[in-house]
Structure 1
Amino acid sequence: MDRDFSIREIGPDEFERAWPIFREVLARGESYNYAADLNLDGARAMWTNPPYRMFLAEADGGETLGCYKLGPNQRGRGDHVANASYMVAESAWGQGVGTALCEHSLTQARKAGYLAMQFNYVVSTNAAAVHLWLKHGFAVVGQVPEAFRHPTLGLVDIYVMHRML
Structure 2
Amino acid sequence: MRPPALQRALRTTVAVLALLLVSAAATAAGRYDTLIRNGLIVDGSGEAPYPADLAIRGDRIATIGDLEDAAAARVIDATGKAVSPGFINMMAWSVIDLIRDGRGMSDLTQGITLEVFGATTPRAYVLGMDDVQPTPAQLMAMQDFVRDAMREDSEEWENMLTGAGPRASS
What TM-score does the superposition give when structure 1 sets the normalisation length? 0.20
Q: Looking at secondary structure, tell me which structure has more helix per residue.
A: 2
Q: Looking at secondary structure, tell me which structure has more strand per residue.
A: 1
Greater relative contact order (CA < 8 Å, ≥ 6 in sequence): 1
